Amino acid sequence: MELSCDIIPTFWGCLLGGFVPVIMEVPPTYRESNKVVDKLCHIWQFLDSPVILTTEALKQEVELLSQWLPAERLKVGTIEALKNNTASKQYHHSQPNDVAFFNLTSGSTGIPKCVQLTHQNLIARARGANQLNQHKREDLILNWLPFDHIGSISDWHIRGVELGCTLIYAQKEYILGRILNWLDLIHKYRITHSWAPNFAYAIVNDSLKQEPEQNWNLSCVKFLLTAGEAVSSKAVEDFRENLVAYGLKATAIRPAFGMAEMGSGITYYQPIKEAPLLFHRIDKSILQGTIKRVEIDYPNHNTFTDLGSVIPGITIRVVDDQNSVLREDTIGRLQVKGDAVSPGYYNNLDANDQSFLKDGWFDTGDLGFIANRQLVVTGRAKETIIINGANYYSHEIEAVVEEIAEIEVSYTAACAVCNADGTTEKLAIFFNSPITEDKKLLELLKKIRQTVVNKVGLNPDYLILIAKEDIPKTVIGKIQ
């Protein structure tokens, strides 16, 4: 289990000593191969046998990695031993363009890449985010997401240190074991700022149906960030409506966009009373080129969440396949430039050539458009499902399925599958539900099919019930 009281001093110790740390999640076990152990072994070899720092309690477990790694090169140190050393008076004098630490991309699109982040990247982004959002030293921050995710270490730690505000941390397991513990802590500590990916807001909505009577006072909350995965308008709207009775401000929820390659968030929605959230309803038949806006009752539309203004020090643009800049309200590839953008992936020329362009622009791999100088992301370029020449987005289909009461929230995955001849894409939807009885399951399958036909305009080819543990997720719960 990752303990922030161990991770944080170790992280700063590395920076002060001139070492380049990379924070990794703790595997469920080191005794047998699993997804996290495989990733750890892969990164250890990729980084040329680095020292592994862990706690005394886990040291013997970690040494079991010698089953897969050469024992003579496996160096495992303990945090307790480092704490017992005499404090050194000599610090490494870092330069702005020195690499501060490595962050592994979430791997939602495959094997993780090793993002290099410099001191300048991290400080520029922290200052830009603090300035745009008018964060103050009096802020009380609550973070419960793990520190191997860029949002936690950069936005909810380094940014807070730069500000000099109070930081409160909780274990991920404590919150995900009962999501309402998150709001209990906000109430108890009078938290002003916290965050979670979209799925957590959806789980809160579900949990409040089971535990409707709470005694929270959430009037202290100024800023609840939703980021890290596609923002569902339904999840955040329902969350806001459910919590207004507990004093949550209409303007508290802040959609944002960021990536590890730019040290976390670079756009944040700035709410006003008249538009606490802003949604763009777009004719679904036009998901390339200039968009067509439609009313809420239009039968065939997509709803996209406005992700707000860009932070100082960063520029964004939307381009076509030839890197020519597109006008506002035109869908294209999102690119980013500025002080927060990483110098590139460590030791990965192919990925750098693909994403880091010669003139300093970083290609995010996202599709979107700019509206009134604000960013709207419509999906990942690789997560677009093309069926019969029409474009659909995985997250859009998943959100529709998860509106069904019998579906377990945050365990739905929609993807394209190809025939053996590879010519036509078909739609497969994987889902989880507590229903196992054959008759009820057949009814649920009919319900899913009818819902997707009615709301998306597609008839799924495959509906597949699977166990929760068979849905691969990143450290913050995003589906891989």
pLDDT in the model for residue 438: 86
**Domain spanning 95-383 has what CATH number?**
3.40.50.12780
pLDDT in the model for residue 352: 95
pLDDT in the model for residue 458: 81
Rounded CA separation 413/464 (Å): 10
Rounded CA separation 93/98 (Å): 10
Out of 219-223, 349-353, 412-416, the most confident range is 219-223
CA 469 to chain centre: 19
Tokens 């539900």 found at: 433
* Per-residue pLDDT band at 1 (split at 50, 70, 90): very low
pLDDT in the model for residue 112: 78
Rounded CA separation 69/71 (Å): 6
Q: Give me the chain's average pLDDT, please.
A: 90
* pLDDT of 426 over the 90 cut: no
Residues of the chain with CATH 3.40.50.12780: 95-383
* Per-residue pLDDT band at 382 (split at 50, 70, 90): low
pLDDT in the model for residue 145: 92
Instruction: Note the pLDDT tens digit of each residue in 312-349.
Output: 999 999 999 999 999 999 999 999 999 999 999 999 99
* pLDDT of 422 over the 60 cut: no
Contact assessment for residue 291 and residue 369, using Cβ atoms and an 8 Å cutoff: yes
* pLDDT of 235 over the 50 cut: yes
pLDDT in the model for residue 372: 95
- 7: left (phi > 0), else alpha (psi -120 to 50), else beta? alpha
Tell me, letter by letter, the H, E, C secondary structure of the chain: CCCHHHHHHHHHHHHHHCCCCCCCCCCCCCCCCCHHHHHHHHHHHHCCCCCEEECHHHHHHHHHHHHCCCHHHCCEEEHHHHHCCCCCCCCCCCCCCCEEEEEECCCCCCCCCEEEEEHHHHHHHHHHHHHHCCCCCCCEEEECCCCCCHHHHHHHHHHHHHHCCEEEECCHHHHHHCCHHHHHHHHHHCCCEEEECHHHHHHHHHHHHHCCCCCCCCCCCCEEEECCCCCCHHHHHHHHHHHHHHCCCCCCEEEEEEEHHHCEEEEECCCECCECCCEEEEECCCCCEECCECCCCCCCEEEEEECCEECCCEEEEEECCCCCECCCCEEEEEEEEECCCCCEECCCHHHHHHHECCCCCEEEEEEEEEECCEEEEEEEHHHEEEECCEEEEHHHHHHHHCCCCCCCCCCCEEEEEECCCCCCEEEEEEECCCCCCHHHHHHHHHHHHHHHHHHHCCCCCEEEECCHHHCCECCCCCEC
Q: Which of 92-96, 123-127, 293-297 has the lowest mean pLDDT?
A: 293-297
Q: Is the pTM of this model over 0.85?
A: no
- 212: left (phi > 0), else alpha (psi -120 to 50), else beta? alpha
* pLDDT of 11 over the 60 cut: yes
Tokens 């030293």 found at: 137
Rounded CA separation 92/16 (Å): 6
Q: Which of 27-31, 251-255, 415-419 has the lowest mean pLDDT?
A: 415-419
Which has the closest alpha carbon to 448: 465, 468, 436, 426?
A: 465
* pLDDT of 154 over the 50 cut: yes
Average of per-residue pLDDT across 148-165: 96
Q: In this structure, what token pair is assigned to residue 103?
A: 């962050």
pLDDT in the model for residue 108: 44
* pLDDT of 109 over the 90 cut: no
Enumerate the β-bridge partners of residue 78: 54
pLDDT in the model for residue 209: 92
Instruction: Give the right CATH number for 388-470 from 3.30.70.1450, 3.30.470.30, 3.20.20.150, 3.30.300.30.
Output: 3.30.300.30
Average of per-residue pLDDT across 425-439: 87
Q: In this structure, what token pair is assigned to residue 295?
A: 């009313």
pLDDT in the model for residue 197: 86
Enumerate the β-bridge partners of residue 372: none
Instruction: Note the pLDDT tens digit of each residue in 249-293.
Output: 999 999 999 999 999 999 999 999 999 999 999 987 776 789 999
Average of per-residue pLDDT across 445-449: 91
Rounded CA separation 166/163 (Å): 9
Q: Which residues contact 8 (CB under 8 A, 6 or more apart)?
A: 147, 157
More confident residue, 56 or 421: 56
Residues of the chain with CATH 3.30.300.30: 388-470
What percentage of the chain exceeds 70 in pLDDT? Answer: 92
* pLDDT of 50 over the 60 cut: yes
Instruction: Note the pLDDT tens digit of each residue in 69-98.
Output: 999 999 999 999 999 988 888 999 999 999
